[in-house]
Amino acid sequence: METSSDPAGVKKINWRQFGRHWIVVFILAILAAFVIWGMLNASPWLKKLQDWRAARALQNQLEELYRNDKYGGKTPEETFDMFIAALEKGDVELASKYFVIEKQESWLRSLQTIKEHNMLGEMLDEMRLARDNSTKKVEGATAKFSYSLEIKETKWLTLPDGSKSKFPPGKYGADIIFENFFSKWKISEL
C-alpha cells in the first residue's frame, strides 16, 4: 500500500490502492473457499463418474462375450431343445452353455451335482414335460414358458446340494425364462 505525505509531514493513505488490495484478498478467499468446497463435495460426483465408467466397461465386455457366443438357438424353443439334447447325452458342460453367461458357472456346478446324484433322468423328465406342456408368453427379448406338474403321492427329491425336500401330493407350477442376446436365446431362469 502506498502512502503519501503532505507538506506538514502527515501520511495519507491511497484509498484507491487500499481498496484494490482488499478486493484481491476477497477474491482469493472466495476462490480458496470454492476449491475447498469442491474438494470436499466433488468426491461423490467423481466416484459416480468412475462407477459409471467401470459399469460401462463391464457392459461392453459382456456385450462382446454375447456377440461371440455360439451357444443358443434363434428361438427359445430351439435353445430349449439344444439344452435337453445336451442333458440326454449327459454333457452338463454343454448344457450349462445355454444359460446366460453370468450364470453358466453356477449352473455347471449344479448340473454336475445333479449328474453325480444320478438325478439327470428326473430333470430330463421334467424338462420334457415343460417343453411339451407349457404356455409361452413373449415380451420383447424375454420369453416365459409356464408349466405345471402334478404329484400324486408324496415325493422326496434330493436337491443339488444333497439335501432332501418333501413334496406332498398336489399341483405345482414353474416357469422357465429365456432372454434374447444378439439374436441368440439363452436360459436365464430355470
pLDDT digits (tens, 9 = 90+) for 83-136: 999 999 999 999 999 999 999 999 999 999 889 888 899 889 889 988 888 889
Choose the CATH number for 72-189 among 3.30.429, 2.60.120, 3.10.450, 2.60.40: 3.10.450
**DSSP annotation string for 74-108:** SSHHHHHHHHHHHHHHT-HHHHHTTB-GGGHHHHH
Name the pTM for this structure.
Answer: 0.68
**Predicted confidence (pLDDT) per residue in 30-86, tens digit:** 998 888 887 777 777 778 888 888 889 888 888 888 888 899 999 999 999 999 999
Rounded to whole angstroms, the Cα distance separating 52 from 164 reads: 43
Cell of 181: 442376446
User: 27: helix, coil or strand?
Assistant: helix
For the chain, helix (H) and strand (E) counts, in that order, are 5, 8
Q: What's 124-138 look like in SS3?
A: HHHHHHHHHCCEEEE
Q: Which residues pair with 173 in a beta bridge?
A: 148
Task: Answer yes or no: is pLDDT of 162 > 70.
Answer: no
**Domain boundaries of the chain, sorted by first residue:** 3-67, 72-189
Residue 187 has pLDDT above 90, yes or no: yes
pLDDT at position 179 is 94
pLDDT band at 11 (very low <50, low <70, confident <90, very high): low
